[in-house]
C-alpha cells in the first residue's frame, strides 16, 4: 500500500495551529484524542448518535466522530479545552447539570454554540439543539435549568 | 473507526471531480463521492461502504450554491441540511429536514448526501418529489438536468461516475399548502416509522412517504385514491392503503400491521387538514 | 447549625468535569499500548466448527490472536462462562476471538478477517421457552460446574438457580380471601447505556504485578475474581479506576478484564487496551435482565391483602454471572411494600440465548414492582377501591415482617403511609385519575409504591483513610468509585460536619488505586453513603483522638477537655486556650526544637452487621440492612386514537432518612426516574426469532433525549435510619424502581386494558388493546 492514504495536516484548534499526521480514514475525534491529547471530546458511539464527541467547528456544533480529520483543515475548531469560565460552565455546576460528567463536554460545547448563535433562543430552539446529545445520568431538567440560566446571565438578567 | 484506508481528494471543479473519478476507477480504487461524509463513516465502520478513494465535493462552487434564480430556487447538493433549512426558501423542505437526525448531525449531513444515501429513508427527497423538482447531475457528458420523478426510482439512478450537483425547484411550488408528519416508534428523535409529506395543489393532494416501504416514494395511484372525492374519506384512505406500491416494512421500529394503522391515522390527519374531520 | 449537612454543596470534581479535564479510563495516553479487538458471534446459539485466523494473522501490526480455551471457566456464583467462547456460542455478540495489534484499526481489520464456521443450534428466546420439557439445554453439563455454596443449579434443565420464599400458610391465606386476582407479565432484556462504554487496560509488570485500569464499579472484585480464576496472588493485582462515565449496575460485572489479562499474557505482559464499541457495550458485555412472571393475589372485600403467590422467571441469558444474585434479590423483596402473612414465591434464574445479565440500577426491584404494583392496581379495580387507598390499607409498618420473615422497626423501614399521603397532595389526587383534555386526549395519573433493601455480601466492608496536610487540610481516601453518584462529595460533607471545618479544606481523591486506597466492597446498591460514611465517621474519630493527644500535651490538659472545630483544638470551656490544627497535625515542635506527635492519619472501617444467607427451603434470613420506602406517580397525556402519549409529570416521595445534599439527592432521584421511565416506555432489545439483537445501537435503541423529559417533582421524608450516617438511607436506585409500574398503571387506565408488557410503546399498547 503506497502512502496516499495518510497525510500531515494542520488543524486550527483553540486558536492554535497544530500539525498532525493522520490516516485519511481517521475521524477528527480520533485525531483530537489520540494524536493531540485533547480528550475532552468523548467517544460514546462513534456513530453520530450520542453527542458526547461534540466540538465547535466554524461556530457550529459538530459531532467530531462524524467528521474526518482531513475534512477539518482550514476550519476553526474549538474543543472544551478551549473554554474557560464561560457562563454555561458556571451554570452547569450551579444547577447540578451533570453526574458522571461523561456527556458534559459535549453538552457544554453544544450549549455554548447555541448561546453564541441564538442568544434569544426560545424553548423550541433549545430543544431542537439539545436533542442532539444523550445524558443517562440526569433527568435533563437540570440541563434545562443550566442552559436557561446561562442564556439569561448572558443577557444580564438575573438567572 | 474505519479499518480500511483510502485516498482523499477535494476537487475544486465539477470537471476535475468527474475526471478524478474516472482515473481512480481505472486504477481499481473503487472511488466514492462524499458530501457530508456521514455515511462513509457510519456505514464504513461496519464495512457496508468500502472505498479506496474518496472524492469530497464540498469545494465545488456549484455544489454550494443556495439562491433564488428568477422563478427557481437552487440548492447545492453539498450544503448542510441546517443551512438549507435556515435559508427558509422552501418551508416544506425545511419541515422535512428538521425531523431528520438531530440538529448537530444536520450540520454535517448534506442535502445531496441525504438524497443519495444508502439508508432507506432519504427523507429530504419527499418535498422534492412532490414539487416535481429538477436534479442537476454531473458526468462525462457534462451537467444534465433531470426531472426528479424520472431519475429517482427508489434511489437516485446515477450512472457510475455521475454525481448530484444541485436541486432546482420552482418557487411557486414551494408556496403551496403542505403537511409533513413524521411518526416514530416512540419519542421525538430518530428514524421514522413513517414520514408522510403532502402538498395541496389546486385541491389535488400529492403524497410522498418514507419509512413505510424500503424506499421513499410518491405513488400516483395512492394519490388518485386520496383525491377520489366520490368516495367517503374512510374509503379513500382504505383504497390508498391498498395501493401501497411495495411490501410494508416489518422491523425494529414497528410491525407492518402497525405501520398501516399509523398510516391510516396519518392520512386522516392530512385530509382533515384540508377537508375537515370528515367521516373517517 | 449544620456546617454542611443538607446543603447543596457542589461536587468536588465539578470544575474538572465542566472543563473536560476529568479523566476516564480511555483518556489516559496510550503510547506503547497495544490494542485489543474482539471478534464476536453473529449467532445466538451455534457450535463452533472451525476458526481460521490465517488471514487475520497477516495484517501488519498484529501481535497475537487469542481463541477460546476450555479453562478457566468464570462466573460469580456458578463458573459457567469461558472468557472467549469455547466450542459453542450461546448468545449473539459473544466474544469468540481477540486480536492484539499495534493500533486500534489494525486490530479491527484483523478481527474482521477471522473466519469462523458455525453450525447453528436451536435458540431459546425466553425463560418460558427455556422451561419447556423439550427445550434444548444451554448448559448440558450444568451439574459439573464449580459453584459457591448458596446457589442451586438444577441439572438437565435451564435453571441456574431457584430461590424459594415460604412464609405463613398459603391455604389459610386463600381461605381468608374474598377476592383473588391472577395475571402474567413480561419484559425483555435491555441495556444500561452508560455513556462511557466499558474500557480496560492491563499489563503484567516484570515483577509479576498485574496492573489494570478499568471503568468499573468494582475494582476490588476484579482483584478477587482475577485471583480466583487465574490463581494470581491477590496482593500482586492492582486495579486503578479513574472517573467512570456512568455504570447503573452495568459496570459491576468483570468481563473485559479477563480478556485483557489473557491478551497481555499473550504478548509478554505488554500493556493492552480494550475499549468496547457501543454495539459491543450493548450486547457483548452484560445487559439488563428480562423477566416473565405469574402472580396471584388474594384479599378480603375490604382490601386487606391475605396471600401472594408469585413466580419470577428471570432471563439471565447465556450465563448466570449476576443473574442468580438478581433473581435471589427479587425473591427477598418479592412483594411490594405491604404487610403479607402468607407468601409463596419461586424466583428462578433461567438460561436463554440472550446476552447475559448483570446488575441494573434497582437490582430486580423495578422489574418485580412492575409485576406486583400492576397487580395491585388490577386488584384495586376489582375491589373498587382507590388504588392509593388499597396501598395505604396494606402499607408495610414497623413491627411487620418481610417476606424473609425479618421484623422491621422504625429505624429499619421508613414511613410508607406518610409517603402515600404526601404523594396524594403532590399529585392532586382528589381531582381524580382521569381528566378529559379534548375529544381525543386524556390526562391520566398512575402510581406505584416502592421498597428496596440491598442484598449484599454478608462480609461487605468499606474503609476510609484520612491524611492531614501541613496546612491543616484533610485528604479523604476511599475505595468508592466516582460513577456519578457524588458519594465522595457527600463524604467530604460528612467530614466537614464532623470536624466542624470548611469543606473547601477537605480534598477528596477521586481515583481508586487498590494498592493504596482502602477497600470499598463495590460501588453499588445505594450503599456507598452508609458504609463509607460510617467508615469515614470512625476515621474522623480516630483522627480527633490523635489531634487531641498532641494538643493536650501542648495545652497541658487532659484530651477529654478538648474540642476540635474551625481548624482549632481548644479547651472546651476556655475557647481562648487553643492551638491550630495545622500546628499539630504533622506533629508539634516546641520552641526548643523537640517535637512530638507526627502526621495525623485517621483510619476507619465499617462492616454490615448481622446479615445472613437466606434459608434454601423457606427464604428466612436477614439479607440486607434496612428498607427504603417511597411512593411514586406519573401523569401522562394520552391520545386515545393513536395510543401515543407524553409523560407530563413524574413524582417521587421517598423516605431517605436524612437529606445530606439536597440538590445532589434530587439529581440522583430525577436521573433514576428518567431511567425508569425510559425503560418503561421505550427501551428494549428487539430480538429476532433466531435470537439476534436487531437494535444494538443508539440509532435504533431509543434513549430519552432532552425534551422527552417530564417535569420532575421530588420530595423527601426524613425518618432516620439509626445506623446510617446522620440517619441517611440509600437512595441511588429508588427513584427508578416505581416508574415502570406507575407508567403502566396510568396507561392501563388510559387505554382501558390491563397492560402486561414492557416497554409501553404506542405499538405495544395498540396490540394489547386488540389492534393488529
Ligand atoms: C445521527 C443520525 C441520524 C440520522 N437520522 C436520519 C433520519 O431520521 N432520516 C434520514 O433520512 N436520514 C437519517 N440519517 C442518515 C443520513 O441521512 C445519512 O447519513 C445522510 O443522509 C448522509 O448524508 P451525507 O451528506 O453525510 O452523505 P455522504 O455520507 O457524503 O454520502 C452518502 C452516500 O451518498 C453518496 N453521495 C453523496 N453525495 C453525493 C452526490 N452529490 N452525488 C452522488 N452521490 C453522492 C455517497 O457516495 C454515499 O454513498 C441519520 C444520520 C445520522 C448520523
Ligand atoms: S461519539 Fe460522536 S456522536 Fe457519539
Ligand atoms: S452526566 Fe452522566 S451521562 Fe450525562
- What own/partner pairs with CB < 8 Å and gap ≥ 24 does A10-19 have? A10/A73, A11/A36, A11/A69, A11/A72, A11/A73, A11/A75, A11/A77, A12/A74, A12/A75, A12/A76, A12/A77, A13/A38, A13/A77, A13/A78, A13/A79, A13/A82, A14/A77, A14/A78, A14/A79, A14/A81, A14/A82, A15/A76, A15/A82
**What is the A103 CA–ligand 3 centroid distance (Å)?**
5
Q: Which of A84, A151, A64 is nearest to A116 (CA)?
A: A151
Cβ pair C708:B185 closer than 8 A: no
Is there an atom of ligand 1 within 6 Å of B75 CB? no
Give the pLDDT confidence score for residue C572 in this predicted structure. 94
Domain residue ranges of chain C, discontinuous segments joined by +: 33-121+195-246+251-284, 287-456+611-768, 459-607
Residue of C nearest to B189 (CA): C705
pTM above 0.90, yes or no: yes
CA of A68 vs chain B CAs: smallest distance (Å)? 8
Is there an atom of ligand 2 within 6 Å of A63 CB? yes
Pair C404, C332: CB distance under 8 Å = yes
Residue C523 has pLDDT above 80, yes or no: no
Q: Which residue has the higher pLDDT, B69 or C3?
A: B69
> For residue range C25-71, what is the model confidence (pLDDT) as tens digits?
999 998 899 999 999 999 999 999 999 999 999 999 999 999 999 99
Give the pLDDT confidence score for residue C457 in this predicted structure. 72
- Closest Cβ–Cβ partner in C20, C486, C706 for A99: C486
Q: Is the peptide bond before C759 cis (omega within 30 degrees of 0)?
A: yes
> For residue range A49-93, what is the model confidence (pLDDT) as tens digits?
999 999 999 999 999 999 999 999 999 999 999 999 999 999 999
Cα gap C560→C548, rounded to integer Å: 8
Give the pLDDT confidence score for residue C730 in this predicted structure. 81
Give the pLDDT confidence score for residue C495 in this predicted structure. 96
**What is the A66 CA–ligand 3 centroid distance (Å)?**
21
Cα gap C258→C482, rounded to integer Å: 23
Of the candidate CATH numbers 3.10.20.740, 3.40.50.300, 3.90.1170.50, 3.30.960.10, the domain formed by C33-121+195-246+251-284 belongs to 3.90.1170.50
Residue C497 has pLDDT above 90, yes or no: yes
Cβ pair A139:C244 closer than 8 A: no
Place of cell 481512480: B24
Residue A5 has pLDDT above 90, yes or no: yes
Q: Which of the listed residues B21, B35, B95, B211 should we mutate to test ligand 1's pocket, taking the one with most ligand atoms within 8 A of CB?
A: B35
Contacts of B253 in chain C (CB under 8 A): 700
Is there an atom of ligand 2 within 6 Å of A44 CB? yes
Cβ pair B58:A48 closer than 8 A: no
Q: Which of C767, C719, C84 is nearest to C417 (CA)?
A: C719
Give the pLDDT confidence score for residue C529 in this predicted structure. 85
The H or E element spanning position B220 is helix B220-227
Residue of C nearest to A89 (CA): C18
Is there an atom of ligand 1 within 6 Å of B116 CB? yes
Average of pLDDT values for C305-331? 97
- 3-class DSSP assignment, residue C454: coil
CA C194, chain centre distance (Å): 12
Give the pLDDT confidence score for residue C2 in this predicted structure. 66
Cβ pair C17:A101 closer than 8 A: yes
Average of pLDDT values for C304-325? 97
Give the pLDDT confidence score for residue C175 in this predicted structure. 98
Cα gap C282→C695, rounded to integer Å: 9
Pair C462, C454: CB distance under 8 Å = no
* Ligand 2: nearest atom to the Cα of A45: 4
Give the pLDDT confidence score for residue B280 in this predicted structure. 44
Residue C674 contacts by C-beta under 8 Å, 6 or more apart in sequence? A138, A139, A140, C704, C709, C712
Cα gap B74→B93, rounded to integer Å: 13
Beginning with the edge strand found earlier in the chain, give each strand of the sheet holding B66-69 in spatial order.
B66-69, B72-76, B163-170, B134-139, B142-147
Cβ pair A48:B1 closer than 8 A: no
Q: Which of B182, B215, B192, B220 is nearest to B204 (CA)?
A: B220
Ligand minimally distant from the alpha carbon of residue A99: 3
Residue of C nearest to B259 (CA): C763
Give the pLDDT confidence score for residue C460 in this predicted structure. 81
Is there an atom of ligand 1 within 6 Å of B57 CB? yes
Give the pLDDT confidence score for residue C284 in this predicted structure. 98
Pair C684, C676: CB distance under 8 Å = no
Residue C233: phi, psi to the nearest 5? -75, 125
Cα gap C368→C308, rounded to integer Å: 13
Residue C525: pLDDT band (50, 70, 90) is: low
**What is the C104 CA–ligand 2 centroid distance (Å)?**
17
Cβ pair B105:A71 closer than 8 A: no
The H or E element spanning position C253 is none
Beginning with the edge strand found earlier in the chain, give each strand of the sheet holding C95-101 in spatial order.
C62-67, C95-101, C34-40, C272-275, C199-204, C210-214, C237-241, C512-513
Give the pLDDT confidence score for residue B185 in this predicted structure. 97
Window from C230-239, C390-399, C717-726 with minimum mean pLDDT: C717-726
Residue C227: phi, psi to the nearest 5? -70, -35
CA C441, chain centre distance (Å): 37
Read off the C-alpha cell for C193: 447505556
Cβ pair A102:C709 closer than 8 A: no
**Four-point Cα dihedral C90, C92, C94, C96, nearest 10:** 90
Q: Which of C211, C224, C216 is nearest to C199 (CA)?
A: C216
Give the pLDDT confidence score for residue B278 in this predicted structure. 56
Q: Which of B104, B266, B100, B135 is nearest to B197 (CA)?
A: B266
- 3-class DSSP assignment, residue B214: coil
Is there an atom of ligand 1 within 6 Å of B34 CB? yes
Which residues, listed in sequence order, are joined to residue C307 by a DSSP beta bridge? C298, C342
Mutation for B interface: A31, A51, A60, most B CBs within 10 A: A60
Residue C182: phi, psi to the nearest 5? -125, 140
Q: Which of the listed residues A42, A52, A102 should we mutate to test ligand 3's pocket, taking the one with most ligand atoms within 8 A of CB?
A: A102
Residue A5 contacts by C-beta under 8 Å, 6 or more apart in sequence? A23, A24, A25, B5, B6, B7
Cβ pair B37:A68 closer than 8 A: yes
Block means of pLDDT (10 residues each) for chain B, 280 residues, are 97 98 98 98 97 98 97 98 97 98 98 98 98 98 97 97 98 97 96 98 97 98 97 97 98 98 98 77
Residue A2: pLDDT band (50, 70, 90) is: very low
Give the pLDDT confidence score for residue C454 in this predicted structure. 79
Residue A1: pLDDT band (50, 70, 90) is: very low
Is there an atom of ligand 1 within 6 Å of B144 CB? no
> Looking at residue C519, what DSSP letter applies?
P
Indicate if the alpha-carbon torsion angle C120, C124, C130, C134 is positive or negative. negative
Give the pLDDT confidence score for residue C459 in this predicted structure. 77
* Ligand 3: nearest atom to the Cα of A107: 4
Residue C772 has pLDDT above 90, yes or no: no
- 3-class SS letters over A69-81: HHHHCCCEEECHH
| CATH class of domain segment(s) C287-456+611-768 | alpha beta
Give the pLDDT confidence score for residue C429 in this predicted structure. 98
Give CATH for domain C459-607. Answer: 3.30.365.10
Q: Which ranges in C305-446 belong to alpha helices (H)?
A: 323-332, 365-383, 387-394, 416-426
Window from C10-19, C616-625, C738-747 with minimum mean pLDDT: C616-625
User: Average model confidence (pLDDT) for chain A?
Assistant: 96
User: Chain B contact for C224, CB < 8 A?
Assistant: no
* Ligand 1: nearest atom to the Cα of B57: 41
Read off the C-alpha cell for C424: 396524594
User: Average model confidence (pLDDT) for chain C?
Assistant: 95
Do the domains at C33-121+195-246+251-284 and C459-607 have one common CATH topology?
A: no
Cα gap B194→B200, rounded to integer Å: 20
* Ligand 3: nearest atom to the Cα of A137: 2
Of the candidate CATH numbers 3.40.640.10, 3.30.1220.10, 3.40.50.720, 3.10.20.30, the domain formed by A6-81 belongs to 3.10.20.30
Pair C130, C320: CB distance under 8 Å = no
Predicted ipTM of the assembly: 0.97
Which chains touch A (3+ CB pairs under 8 A)? B, C
Cβ pair A140:C706 closer than 8 A: yes
The per-residue b/e assignment along C589-627, b for 16 or more CB within 10 angstroms, e otherwise, is eeeeeeeebeebbbebbbebeebeebeeeebbbbbbbbb
> For residue range A107-136, what is the model confidence (pLDDT) as tens digits?
999 999 999 999 999 999 999 999 999 999
Q: Which of residues 227-256 of C touch A (CB under 8 A)?
A: 243-248
Residue C660: pLDDT band (50, 70, 90) is: very high
**What is the A62 CA–ligand 2 centroid distance (Å)?**
10
Residue C625 has pLDDT above 90, yes or no: no
CB atoms near residue B23 (< 10 Å): 11
Residue A3: pLDDT band (50, 70, 90) is: low
> For residue range C683-702, what is the model confidence (pLDDT) as tens digits?
999 999 999 999 999 999 99
Q: Where in chain A is the domain with CATH 1.10.150.120?
A: 83-154
Give CATH for domain A83-154. Answer: 1.10.150.120
Is there an atom of ligand 2 within 6 Å of A67 CB? no
Residue C333: pLDDT band (50, 70, 90) is: very high
Amino acid at each position: 500500500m503506497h502512502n496516499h492514504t495518510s497525510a500531515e495536516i494542520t488543524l486550527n484548534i483553540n486558536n492554535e495551529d497544530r500539525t498532525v499526521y493522520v490516516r485519511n480514514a481517521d475521524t477528527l475525534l480520533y485525531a483530537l484524542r489520540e494524536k493531540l491529547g485533547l480528550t475532552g471530546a468523548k467517544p460514546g458511539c462513534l456513530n453520530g448518535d450520542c453527542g458526547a464527541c461534540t466540538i465547535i467547528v466554524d461556530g457550529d456544533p459538530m459531532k467530531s466522530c462524524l467528521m474526518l480529520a482531513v475534512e477539518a483543515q482550514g476550519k476553526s475548531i474549538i474543543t472544551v479545552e478551549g473554554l474557560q469560565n464561560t457562563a454555561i460552565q458556571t451554570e452547569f455546576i450551579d444547577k447540578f447539570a451533570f453526574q458522571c460528567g461523561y456527556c458534559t463536554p459535549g453538552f457544554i460545547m453544544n450549549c455554548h454554540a447555541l448561546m453564541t448563535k441564538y442568544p434569544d433562543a426560545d424553548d423550541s430552539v433549545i430543544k431542537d439543539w439539545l436533542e442532539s446529545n444523550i445524558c443517562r445520568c440526569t433527568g435533563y431538567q437540570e440541563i434545562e435549568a443550566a442552559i436557561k440560566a446561562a442564556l439569561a446571565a448572558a443577557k444580564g438578567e438575573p438567572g | 473507526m474505519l479499518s480500511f484506508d483510502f485516498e482523499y481528494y477535494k476537487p475544486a471543479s465539477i470537471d476535475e471531480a468527474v475526471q478524478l473519478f474516472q482515473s481512480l476507477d481505472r486504477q481499481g480504487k473503487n472511488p466514492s463521492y462524499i458530501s457530508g461524509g456521514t455515511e462513509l463513516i457510519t456505514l464504513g465502520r461496519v464495512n457496508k461502504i468500502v472505498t479506496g478513494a474518496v472524492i469530497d465535493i464540498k469545494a465545488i462552487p456549484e455544489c454550494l450554491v443556495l439562491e433564488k434564480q428568477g422563478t427557481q430556487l437552487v440548492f447545492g447538493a453539498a450544503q448542510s441540511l441546517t443551512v438549507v433549512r435556515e435559508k427558509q426558501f422552501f418551508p416544506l423542505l425545511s419541515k422535512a429536514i428538521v425531523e431528520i437526525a438531530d440538529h448537530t448531525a444536520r450540520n454535517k449531513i448534506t442535502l445531496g448526501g441525504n438524497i443519495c444515501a444508502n439508508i432507506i429513508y432519504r427523507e429530504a427527497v419527499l418535498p422534492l418529489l412532490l414539487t416535481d423538482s429538477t436534479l442537476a447531475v454531473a458526468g462525462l457528458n457534462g451537467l444534465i438536468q433531470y426531472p426528479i420523478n424520472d431519475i429517482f426510482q427508489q434511489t437516485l439512478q446515477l450512472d457510475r461516475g455521475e454525481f448530484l450537483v444541485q436541486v432546482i425547484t420552482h418557487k411557486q411550488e414551494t408556496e403551496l399548502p403542505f403537511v409533513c408528519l413524521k411518526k416514530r416508534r416512540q419519542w421525538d428523535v430518530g428514524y421514522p416509522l413513517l414520514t408522510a409529506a403532502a402538498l395541496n395543489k389546486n385541491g389535488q393532494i400529492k403524497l410522498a412517504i418514507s419509512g413505510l416501504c424500503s424506499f421513499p416514494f410518491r405513488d400516483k395511484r395512492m394519490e388518485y385514491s386520496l383525491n377520489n372525492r366520490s368516495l367517503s374519506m374512510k374509503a379513500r384512505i382504505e383504497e390508498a392503503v391498498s395501493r401501497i406500491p411495495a411490501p410494508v416494512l416489518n422491523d425494529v421500529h414497528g410491525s407492518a400491521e402497525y405501520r398501516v394503522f399509523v398510516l391510516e391515522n396519518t392520512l386522516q390527519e392530512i385530509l382533515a387538514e384540508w377537508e375537515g374531520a370528515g367521516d373517517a | 447549625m449544620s456546617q454542611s449537612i443538607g446543603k447543596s454543596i457542589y461536587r468536588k470534581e465539578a470544575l474538572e468535569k465542566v472543563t473536560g479535564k476529568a479523566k476516564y479510563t480511555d483518556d489516559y495516553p496510550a503510547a506503547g499500548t497495544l490494542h485489543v479487538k474482539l471478534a464476536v458471534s453473529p449467532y445466538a446459539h451455534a457450535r463452533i466448527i472451525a476458526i481460521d485466523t490465517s488471514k487475520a494473522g497477516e495484517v501488519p501490526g498484529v501481535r497475537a490472536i487469542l481463541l477460546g480455551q476450555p479453562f478457566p471457566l468464570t462466573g460469580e456464583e456458578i463458573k459457567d462462562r469461558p472468557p472467549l467462547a469455547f466450542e459453542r456460542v450461546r448468545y449473539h455478540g459473544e466474544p469468540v476471538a481477540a486480536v492484539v495489534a499495534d493500533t486500534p484499526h489494525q486490530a479491527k481489520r484483523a478481527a474482521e478477517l477471522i473466519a469462523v464456521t458455525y453450525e447453528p443450534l436451536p435458540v431459546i428466546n425466553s425463560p418460558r421457552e427455556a422451561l419447556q420439557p423439550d427445550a434444548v439445554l444451554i448448559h448440558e453439563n450444568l451439574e459439573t460446574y464449580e459453584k459457591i455454596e448458596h446457589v442451586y443449579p438444577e441439572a438437565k434443565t435451564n435453571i441456574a438457580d431457584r430461590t424459594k420464599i415460604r412464609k405463613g400458610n398459603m391455604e389459610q391465606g386463600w381461605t381468608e380471601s374474598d377476592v383473588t386476582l391472577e395475571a402474567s407479565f413480561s419484559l425483555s432484556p435491555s441495556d444500561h447505556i452508560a455513556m462511557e462504554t466499558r474500557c480496560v487496560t492491563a499489563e503484567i509488570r516484570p515483577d509479576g504485578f498485574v496492573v489494570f485500569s478499568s471503568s468499573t464499579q468494582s475494582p476490588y472484585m476484579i482483584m478477587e475474581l482475577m485471583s480466583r480464576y487465574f490463581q494470581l496472588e491477590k496482593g500482586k493485582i492492582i486495579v486503578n479506576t479513574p472517573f467512570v462515565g456512568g455504570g447503573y449496575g452495568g459496570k459491576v460485572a468483570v468481563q473485559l478484564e479477563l480478556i485483557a489479562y489473557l491478551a497481555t499474557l499473550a504478548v509478554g505482559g505488554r500493556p493492552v487496551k480494550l475499549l468496547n464499541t457501543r454495539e459491543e457495550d450493548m450486547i457483548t458485555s452484560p445487559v439488563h435482565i428480562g423477566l416473565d412472571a405469574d402472580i396471584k393475589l388474594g384479599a378480603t372485600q375490604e382490601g386487606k391483602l391475605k396471600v401472594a403467590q408469585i413466580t419470577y422467571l428471570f432471563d439471565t441469558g447465556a450465563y448466570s454471572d449476576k443473574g442468580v444474585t438478581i433473581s435471589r434479590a427479587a425473591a427477598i423483596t418479592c412483594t411490594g411494600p405491604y404487610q403479607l402473612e402468607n407468601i409463596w414465591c419461586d424466583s428462578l434464574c433461567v438460561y436463554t440465548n440472550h446476552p447475559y445479565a448483570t446488575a441494573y440500577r434497582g437490582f430486580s426491584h423495578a422489574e418485580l414492582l412492575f409485576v406486583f404494583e400492576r397487580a395491585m392496581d388490577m386488584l384495586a379495580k376489582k375491589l373498587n377501591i382507590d388504588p392509593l387507598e388499597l396501598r395505604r390499607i396494606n402499607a408495610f409498618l414497623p413491627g411487620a415482617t418481610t417476606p424473609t420473615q425479618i421484623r422491621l422497626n422504625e429505624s429499619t423501614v421508613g414511613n410508607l403511609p406518610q409517603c402515600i399521603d404526601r404523594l396524594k397532595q403532590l399529585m392532586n389526587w382528589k381531582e381524580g385519575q382521569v381528566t378529559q383534555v379534548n375529544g381525543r386526549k386524556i390526562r391520566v395519573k398512575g402510581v406505584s409504591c416502592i421498597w428496596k433493601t440491598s442484598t449484599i455480601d454478608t462480609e461487605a466492608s468499606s474503609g476510609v483513610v484520612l491524611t492531614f496536610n501541613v496546612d491543616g487540610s484533610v485528604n479523604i481516601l476511599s475505595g468508592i468509585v466516582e460513577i456519578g453518584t457524588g458519594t465522595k462529595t457527600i463524604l467530604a460533607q460528612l467530614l466537614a460536619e464532623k470536624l466542624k471545618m470548611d469543606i473547601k479544606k477537605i480534598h477528596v481523591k477521586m481515583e481508586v488505586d487498590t494498592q493504596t486506597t482502602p477497600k470499598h466492597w463495590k460501588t453499588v446498591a445505594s450503599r456507598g453513603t452508609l458504609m463509607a460514611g460510617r467508615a469515614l465517621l470512625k476515621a474522623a474519630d480516630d483522627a480527633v483522638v490523635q489531634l487531641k493527644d498532641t494538643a493536650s500535651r501542648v495545652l497541658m490538659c487532659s484530651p477529654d477537655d478538648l474540642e476540635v472545630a474551625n481548624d482549632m483544638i481548644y479547651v472546651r470551656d476556655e475557647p481562648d486556650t487553643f492551638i491550630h490544627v495545622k500546628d499539630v497535625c504533622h506533629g508539634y515542635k516546641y520552641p526548643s526544637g523537640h517535637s512530638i506527635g507526627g502526621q495525623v492519619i485517621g483510619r476507619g472501617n465499617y462492616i454490615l452487621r448481622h446479615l445472613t444467607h437466606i434459608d434454601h427451603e423457606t427464604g428466612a434470613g436477614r439479607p440486607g440492612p434496612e428498607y427504603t420506602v417511597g411512593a411514586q406517580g406519573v401523569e401522562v397525556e394520552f391520545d386515545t386514537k393513536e395510543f401515543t402519549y407524553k409523560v407530563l409529570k413524574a413524582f417521587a416521595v421517598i423516605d431517605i432518612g436524612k437529606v445530606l445534599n439536597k440538590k445532589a439527592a434530587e439529581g440522583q432521584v430525577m436521573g433514576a426516574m428518567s431511567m425508569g421511565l425510559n425503560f418503561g416506555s421505550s427501551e428494549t432489545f428487539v430480538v429476532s426469532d433466531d435470537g439476534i439483537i436487531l437494535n444494538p445501537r443508539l440509532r435504533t435503541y431509543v434513549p430519552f433525549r432532552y425534551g422527552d423529559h417530564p417535569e420532575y417533582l421530588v420530595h423527601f421524608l426524613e425518618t432516620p435510619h439509626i445506623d446510617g450516617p446522620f440517619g441517611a438511607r440509600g437512595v441511588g436506585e429508588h427513584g427508578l424502581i416505581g416508574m415502570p409500574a406507575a407508567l403502566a398503571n396510568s396507561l392501563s387506565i388510559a387505554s382501558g386494558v390491563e397492560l402486561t408488557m414492557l416497554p409501553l410503546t404506542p405499538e405495544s399498547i395498540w396490540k394489547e388493546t386488540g389492534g393488529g
